[in-house]
Amino acid sequence: MSTTLEKIAAGDVSRILAEQGIPKDKPVTILVDEDMAEIARRVRVKAKARGMTDEVFEALTKDL
C-alpha cells in the first residue's frame, strides 16, 4: 500500500514520517515537484561553481 503526503517542506520530512510511525530505516521514495525555472536555476548554480560563465550558459540554453 502507498501513502501520499503532499506539500511538505523538505526540512519537515523526517519529523512528519516519524509522526506517521514510519521507522527511520524504512526506504521511502520522495518526489520533488519543480518547474523548469527551478531546475534551470539549480543547474546554473552548479555550472557556475564548476567554472562555466554566464555567457556560455546562456549560449548553451538559449533554445531550450
Averaged pLDDT, 41-62 = 88
12-24: pLDDT as tens digits: 999 999 999 999 9
Averaged pLDDT, 54-58 = 86
Answer whether 17's CB lies under 8 Å from 28's CB.
yes
List all residues 6 or more positions away from 47 whose beta carbon is below 8 Å from its beta carbon. 57
Query: pTM (2 decimals)?
Result: 0.58
